[in-house]
Amino acid sequence: MTTSNLHLYILAAPLLGAFAVNLLGRLSRRWVAPLTLGVLGYATIAALVVLARVLRDGTISYTIGNWRPPFGIELVIDPLGALMLLLISAVALTATFSSLTSIERELPGREHLFFTMYLLLIAGLTGLALTGDAFNLYVLLEITSITTYGLIAMGRGRAPLASFNYIIMGSIGACFYLLGVGYLYLLTGSLNMADIANILHGLQETAALATAFAFIMVGLWVKMAFFPLHSWLPNAYSLAPSGASVMIAPLMTKVTVFLMIRVMFSIFSPEYEFIQHAGVQSLIVWVAALAIVCASALALAQRDLKRMLTYIIVAEVGYMVGGVWLANSQGMTGAILHIVNDALMTLCLFLAAAAIAYRTGSLGFDSLQGLYRRMPITMAAFTIGAFSMIGVPPTAGFFSKWYLILGGIEANQWGYVAALLFSSLVNAVLFFRIIEIAYFRTGEVGHGHDHGHAAVRVEEAPLMMLAPLVLAALALIAVGFGSGPLVSGVIRLAVPGGF
Amino acid sequence: MKQVQDRAQTRAVGESLIIQTAVRLMVPFIQLFGLYVIVHGHYSPGGGFQGGVILGASFILTAVAFDLQTSLKRFTERTNAIMGNAGVLLYTGVGMLCALLGGLFLDYSALVRIIPMDPVEWRSLGIFLVEVGVGLAVMSIMASLYWDLSSRGELDEGL
Amino acid sequence: MVYAHSFWPLAAVMLPLLATVPIMLSGRSPNLRESWTLLAGGGMFAIVASMLPAVLAGGGFVLTLAEVVPGVPIQLRVDALGMFFALVASFLWIFTSVYSIGYMRALEEHDQTRYFASFAVAIAATIGVAFSANLLTLYLFYEILSLSTYPLVTHEQNAEARASGRKYLTYILGTSIGLVLPAMLIVYHLTGTLDFTHGGILAGKASPGTLSLLLLLFVLGFAKAGVMPFHGWLPAAMVAPTPVSSFLHGVAVVKVGVFSILRVVFDIFGPDLLRSLDLGVALTYFVSITILFASLVALTQDNLKRRLAYSTIGQLSYMILGAGMVSAAGMTGGVLHIAMHAFGKITLFFCAGAIYVASHKKYISEMDGLGRQMPITYVAFFLGSLSIIGMPPLGGFLSKWNLLVGAVQSQQMVLVAVLLGSSLLNAAYFFPIVYRGFFAPAPAGGAASGIREAPLFCLLPLSVTALCSLLLFFYPSVFLQLVQRALFP
Amino acid sequence: MQGIIAEIVAKYNYWIYVVLMMIGFYAMIGKRNLVKKLIGLNIFQTAIILFYVSTGVKRGGGIPIVDKHAALTHGIDPATVVNPLPHVLMLTAIVVGVSVTGVALAVLLRVYREYGTLEEDEILEKIGK
Interface test with B, best of D67, D98, D109 (most B CBs within 10 A): D109
Burial of C180 (0-12, 13-18, 19+ CB in 10 A): buried
Domain boundaries, chain C: 278-489
Average pLDDT over residues C423-450: 77
Q: Give the type of residue at A454.
A: A
pLDDT at D39: 93
Q: Is C353 on the interface with A (CB under 8 A)?
A: no
In DSSP terms, A74 is beta-bridged to: A63
pLDDT at A91 exceeding the cut of 90: yes
Rounded Cα–Cα distance for residues C89 and C81 (Å): 13
Rounded Cα–Cα distance for residues A264 and A242 (Å): 33
Interface test with D, best of A116, A131, A168 (most D CBs within 10 A): A168
Chain B positions in Cβ-Cβ contact with residue A136 (cut-off 8 Å): none
Q: Are strands C61-69 and C4-5 parallel, antiparallel or unpaired?
A: parallel
The number of residues making up chain C comes to 489
pLDDT, tens only, B90-142:
888 888 888 887 777 777 777 777 777 787 778 788 888 888 898 999 898 88
pLDDT at D32 exceeding the cut of 70: yes
Alpha helices in C154-223 (DSSP H): 159-175, 181-191, 208-221
If pLDDT is split at 50, 70 and 90, which confidence band does C169 have? Answer: confident
Percentage of chain C lying above the pLDDT 70 cut: 98
Rounded Cα–Cα distance for residues C300 and C364 (Å): 11
Q: Do C255 and C322 meet the contact criterion of CB atoms below 8 Å apart? A: no
DSSP character at residue B108: G
Rounded Cα–Cα distance for residues A491 and A335 (Å): 10
- The residues, any chain, with a CB within 8 Å of residue A94's CB and separated by 6 or more, are A347, A351, A468, A471, A472
- Do you find a cis peptide bond into A228, omega within 30 degrees of 0? yes
* 3-class secondary-structure state, position C426: helix
Chains that touch A (3 or more CB pairs under 8 A): B, C, D
pLDDT at A474 exceeding the cut of 90: yes
Chains C and D touch (3+ CB pairs under 8 A): no
Q: Do B58 and B67 meet the contact criterion of CB atoms below 8 Å apart? A: no
pLDDT at D129 exceeding the cut of 70: no
In DSSP terms, A355 is beta-bridged to: none
Q: Are strands A60-63 and A74-77 parallel, antiparallel or unpaired?
A: antiparallel
Task: Encode A423-466 in three state secondary structure.
Answer: HHHHHHHHHHHHHHHHHCCCCCCCCCCCHHHHHCCCCCCCHHHH
- Which chain B residues have any C-beta within 8 angstroms of a chain D C-beta? 43-45, 49, 141, 145, 148-149, 152-153, 158-159
Identify which of A8, A19, A64 has the shortest CB distance to residue B85.
Answer: A19
pLDDT at A495: 79
Higher-confidence residue: C456 or A176?
Answer: A176
Buried-state track B9-38, b at ≥16 Cβ within 10 A, e below 16 = eeeeeeeeeeeeeebeeebeebbebbeebb
pLDDT at A119 exceeding the cut of 90: yes
Contact D106 B44 (CB under 8 A): no
Q: Is D28 on the interface with A (CB under 8 A)?
A: yes
Rounded Cα–Cα distance for residues A153 and A362 (Å): 19
Q: Is C189 on the interface with A (CB under 8 A)?
A: yes
The domain of D66 spans 2-128
Identify which of A23, A150, A160 has the shortest CB distance to residue B85.
Answer: A23
CB atoms within 10 A of CB A278: 11
pLDDT at B13 exceeding the cut of 60: no
pLDDT at A97: 92
pLDDT at A446: 41
pLDDT at A418 exceeding the cut of 90: yes
- Nearest to A358, CA basis, from A98, A51, A32: A98
Angle separating helix axes C375-389 and C395-409, nearest 10 degrees: 10
pLDDT at A175 exceeding the cut of 50: yes
pLDDT, tens only, B48-69:
888 998 999 888 888 888 777 7
pLDDT, tens only, A290-337:
999 999 999 999 888 899 999 999 999 999 999 999 888 889 999 999
Average pLDDT over residues A36-56: 91
Q: Give the type of residue at C391.
A: M
pLDDT, tens only, C286-345:
888 888 888 888 888 888 888 888 888 888 888 888 888 888 888 888 888 888 888 888
Domain boundaries, chain A: 278-499
pLDDT at A27 exceeding the cut of 60: yes
Chain A positions in Cβ-Cβ contact with residue C166 (cut-off 8 Å): 432, 436
Total structural domains in chain D?
1
CA distances from C86 to A293, C78, C242, D94 (A): 41, 9, 22, 71
Chains C and B touch (3+ CB pairs under 8 A): no
Identify which of A149, A172, A185 has the shortest CB distance to residue D107.
Answer: A149
pLDDT at A420: 93
pLDDT at C161: 83
- Which chain D residues have any C-beta within 8 angstroms of a chain B C-beta? 65, 68, 91, 95, 102, 105-107, 109-110, 113
Phi, psi of C75 (to 5 degrees): -135, 135
Contact A12 B105 (CB under 8 A): yes
Average pLDDT over residues A135-143: 92
Angle separating helix axes C80-107 and C30-56, nearest 10 degrees: 160
Q: Do A24 and A111 meet the contact criterion of CB atoms below 8 Å apart? A: no
Chains that touch B (3 or more CB pairs under 8 A): A, D
pLDDT at C6: 84
Higher-confidence residue: A139 or B108?
Answer: A139
pLDDT at A497: 65
In DSSP terms, D33 is beta-bridged to: D119
Nearest-CA residue of chain A relative to B123? A65
pLDDT at D13: 85
Nearest-CA residue of chain B relative to D100? B145
Average pLDDT over residues C252-274: 88
Taking chain B, what is the end-to-end CA distance rounded to the nearest angstrom? 16
DSSP character at residue A75: E
Q: Is D13 on the interface with A (CB under 8 A)?
A: no
Rounded Cα–Cα distance for residues B143 and B55 (Å): 9
Q: What is the mean pLDDT of chain C?
A: 85
Q: Do A217 and A117 meet the contact criterion of CB atoms below 8 Å apart? A: no
pLDDT at C73 exceeding the cut of 60: yes
DSSP character at residue A107: S
pLDDT at A37: 92
Rounded Cα–Cα distance for residues A295 and A227 (Å): 8
Contact C157 A447 (CB under 8 A): yes
Contact B105 A154 (CB under 8 A): no
Chain B positions in Cβ-Cβ contact with residue A160 (cut-off 8 Å): 159
Rounded Cα–Cα distance for residues B79 and B136 (Å): 11
pLDDT at A447 exceeding the cut of 80: no
Min Cα separation C183/chain A (Å): 11
Rounded Cα–Cα distance for residues D11 and A413 (Å): 43
Rounded Cα–Cα distance for residues A267 and A45 (Å): 30
Chain A positions in Cβ-Cβ contact with residue D110 (cut-off 8 Å): 153, 160
Rounded Cα–Cα distance for residues C410 and C408 (Å): 5
pLDDT at B73: 79
Q: Do C255 and C220 meet the contact criterion of CB atoms below 8 Å apart? A: no
What are the DSSP calls for B61-91, one per residue? HHHHHS-HHHHHHHS-HHHHHHHHHHHHHHH
CA distances from A388 to A170, A194, A301, C90 (A): 30, 37, 21, 29
ipTM: 0.87
Helix (H) or strand (E) segment spanning residue A77: strand A74-77
pLDDT at C474: 87
Min Cα separation A293/chain C (Å): 14
Q: Do D20 and D39 meet the contact criterion of CB atoms below 8 Å apart? A: no
pLDDT at C450: 66
Phi, psi of A318 (to 5 degrees): -60, -40
pLDDT, tens only, C246-257:
877 777 888 899
Chains A and D touch (3+ CB pairs under 8 A): yes
- Nearest to A441, CA basis, from C147, C157, C109: C157
pLDDT at A463: 86
If pLDDT is split at 50, 70 and 90, which confidence band does B10 have? Answer: very low
Buried-state track C280-318, b at ≥16 Cβ within 10 A, e below 16 = bbebbebbbebbbbbbebbeebeebbbbbbbbbbbbbbb
CA distances from A163 to A95, A117, A159, A231 (A): 21, 15, 6, 12
Contact B85 A5 (CB under 8 A): no
pLDDT at C473 exceeding the cut of 90: no
pLDDT, tens only, A357-379:
888 887 888 788 878 888 888 99
DSSP character at residue A365: G
